[in-house]
Amino acid sequence: MGLSRLFLHFFVVSNICHLSEPVLTVQLRSSGCSPRKPDKTKWHDLCIYIDKMKHKGFSLIEVMISLFIFTLLVLGTFQTLIYSLAVQQRCQNRITSLELAANRMEKLKSLRFDHPKLNQSEQQEMIRPPGSNKTYRLMTSVQDISQNVKQIEISCSPQDRDQYQVSLVLYVCQELGF
């Protein structure tokens, strides 16, 4: 029997080998034969019996692949969550720094031009805003640009994070009144 005359024939047979569940039979036969039940005693019949009980659960490979995909999704979600929390913390630090610097700037703007707090100096103080557990470094620098103009620079940052520093600069002119 040549290979060109052989073909693979698939059919489902129930009650072969006294099984109550259907089984899959793969039979090699020549092209001239009619479909028949496989004869287990013949050499050319290849029967593979697969009952349904073997395919009711998941294989170990399927479980491992699904766990790997699930782990990738969870890790990606956690990484995004951690990144968004870090961005939120940075923004909160900058907003608080900006509020503290703006409040100090408003206090200094309300003073007269010849007030002692507006004399040329550099000051640094630590401030803990109400409701916050962080301490912020507030630096104030006043410089006389000319006899009638002063430059006020206020910088604020969290005590342990100088890279989040916010700086505001104000020029005060005695002749203009601001």
pTM comes to 0.59
DSSP state of 89: H
Q: Do 25 and 13 touch, CB atoms closer than 8 A?
A: yes
76 assigned to some structural domain? no
136: nearest Cα among 125, 147, 146: 125
Same-domain check for residues 101 and 40: no
28 assigned to some structural domain? yes
CATH number at residue 159: 3.30.1300.30
87 assigned to some structural domain? no
Q: What is the pLDDT of residue 176?
A: 81
Same-domain check for residues 105 and 161: yes
Cα–Cα distances in angstroms (integers) from residue 45 to residues 21, 32, 53, 140, in the given order: 21, 15, 24, 95
What stretches in the chain show pLDDT beneath 50? 1-33, 43-53
Q: What is the pLDDT of residue 132?
A: 85
Q: What is the pLDDT of residue 61?
A: 93
122 assigned to some structural domain? yes
Residue range(s) defining the domain that contains residue 118:
94-178
80 assigned to some structural domain? no
Please state the domain count of the chain: 2
Same-domain check for residues 42 and 116: no
Tens-digit pLDDT profile for residues 119-153: 889 999 999 998 888 999 999 999 999 999 999 99
Give the strands of the sheet with 121-127, arranged side by side.
121-127, 136-144, 149-158, 166-173
Helices (H) and strands (E) counted in the chain, each on its own, are 1, 6
148 assigned to some structural domain? yes
Q: What is the pLDDT of residue 152?
A: 94
Q: What is the pLDDT of residue 35?
A: 52
134 assigned to some structural domain? yes
Same-domain check for residues 98 and 178: yes
Kindly tell me the burial class for residue 136, based on how many C-beta atoms sit within 10 Å of its own C-beta (0-12, 13-18, 19 or more).
buried
140: nearest Cα among 129, 126, 161: 126
Question: How many Å apart are CA 102 and CA 142, to the nearest integer?
Answer: 15
25 assigned to some structural domain? yes
Q: What is the pLDDT of residue 41?
A: 54
